[in-house]
Amino acid sequence: MTDLIRMSAVAAARRLARRELSAELYVRAFLERIDARHEEVHAFAYLGREQAIARARALDQGPCVGLLHGLPFGVKDMFDTCDMPTQGGSRIYTGHTTPVDAACVALARHAGGIVLGKTVTTELATFPPNETRHPHNSAHTPGGSSSGSVAAVADWQLPLATGTQTLGSTVRPAAYCGVIGYKPTYNLIPKRGVWATSDTLDTVGLFGKTVPDVALFAAGILGCTELQVEETVSAPRVGLCRTFEWGHATPEMQSALASAGERLAAAGAKVCEVTLPDTFADMLQAQITVGTFEMGRTLSDEYLRHGDLMRPQLHERCALAWNVSLADYHHALAVGRRARALLPEVFRDIDVLLAPAATGEAPQGLDWTGDPVMNQVWSFLHTPCVSIPAERGPHGLPLGLQVIGQLDDDQRTLRAAHWIQQRMAYQPFSALDLA
């Protein structure tokens, strides 16, 4: 069973399609791992054991149905699922069910994917954490808000999982746990049926062990085979980007970016320094303004009628929305539009940017999920971002960098991320069977 769960999703998909691997056996291997590790990691809010086995058996008995045929995946508990509760990590929604799947879940099932269960989220994908722990050191946070999805993938409990990103909820936890986190271009993956917090910022994200894995997942959901990443890709042109938030990065994170630049240049990439236009200096505050305005109003019914069931931290955050004027909101949106208009100039001579994916290692303690400051601007810019593990920090936990692409240039971004990841110092899943 250990050999099965340590295959890449790409390798497993090939074997499942060739009938060299039974979907039921593959699903049962992950269920066995979950049973062994759930009490330590707490990645799942709901485990659909019987539904998954039944679906796997049906797939084994019928034709190959799509790119994701027989691949189990986890669904963040902010996505509607027709056969499992969707509770958003909140007491307000205890036992809540819906008769339909979120669009991306429906598409993944249509491509042959098997929902193994609902993964833990922070409360309504915001700030208060729930019970998930870092799979490599349970005294540290796995990050959030997609905490259960990232922990399950990092702990070999799932090959693939969905997440969301409003501030940094895909890229940051992936960096903390040493897996691949892919935040596509805004709205590339449909959001219908994914509970909202900020419509301007919310983006569906994906987790996997390798870049080709998340690319396969996206290709299967969207029915776009051109998103898949080959094992061998050409060297990209990389711009090292310290960003205006550089002062928040720990010394070891700052060193990791510099070391990555040297390593990539030695491997044949064209590497240069990129300084963002001055307009980008206003982006962080603008993002905070937009997120605050929209989150409080999006969660208005929960806040106004069910505030007593909210965690105090979230209740206080929602209250802040009413301090943001409409004029300030529109001004912040305009800052984002101006910065997005400058992106073609930023990317004129490069394929991707490389920047910190988090401020440093996963913080110790379980009462918060870490600082998203290295992600917020990119979420507001709507660019595709891929978090890749790069080095180990002083506590032995991963340090992640993010590969950032131009708007709507997800194919190039994924290919560049794959090439870069293969040349990083830290290779947590280097023993994967990629055949």
CB contact at 8 A, 204 and 175:
no
The question of whether 259 is a catalytic residue gets the answer no
Contacting residues for 325 by C-beta, under 8 A, at least 6 apart: none
Question: Of 79, 112, 102, nearest to 220 (Cα)?
Answer: 112
Q: Which of 8, 145, 146, 149 is catalytic?
A: 145
Q: What does the alpha-carbon distance between residue 47 and residue 54 come to, in Å, rounded to a whole number?
A: 14
Q: Which of 8, 90, 147, 169 is catalytic?
A: 169
Q: What does the alpha-carbon distance between residue 180 and residue 215 come to, in Å, rounded to a whole number?
A: 10
Buried/exposed 362-389: b ≥16 CB within 10 Å, e otherwise: bbeebeebbbbbbbbbbbbbbbbbbbbb
Contacting residues for 301 by C-beta, under 8 A, at least 6 apart: none
The question of whether 183 is a catalytic residue gets the answer no
CB contact at 8 A, 283 and 339:
yes
Q: Which of 76, 118, 183, 209 is catalytic?
A: 76
Q: What does the alpha-carbon distance between residue 201 and residue 283 come to, in Å, rounded to a whole number?
A: 13
Q: Strand 270-274 to strand 385-392: parallel, antiparallel, or no bridges (unpaired)?
A: unpaired
Where do the H-state alpha helices sit in 114-250?
147-154, 171-177, 211-222
Question: Of 423, 373, 400, 434, nearest to 150 (Cα)?
Answer: 400
Q: Which amino acid is at 233?
A: V
The question of whether 300 is a catalytic residue gets the answer no
Q: What does the alpha-carbon distance between residue 199 and residue 398 come to, in Å, rounded to a whole number?
A: 31
Active site positions, annotated: 76, 145, 169
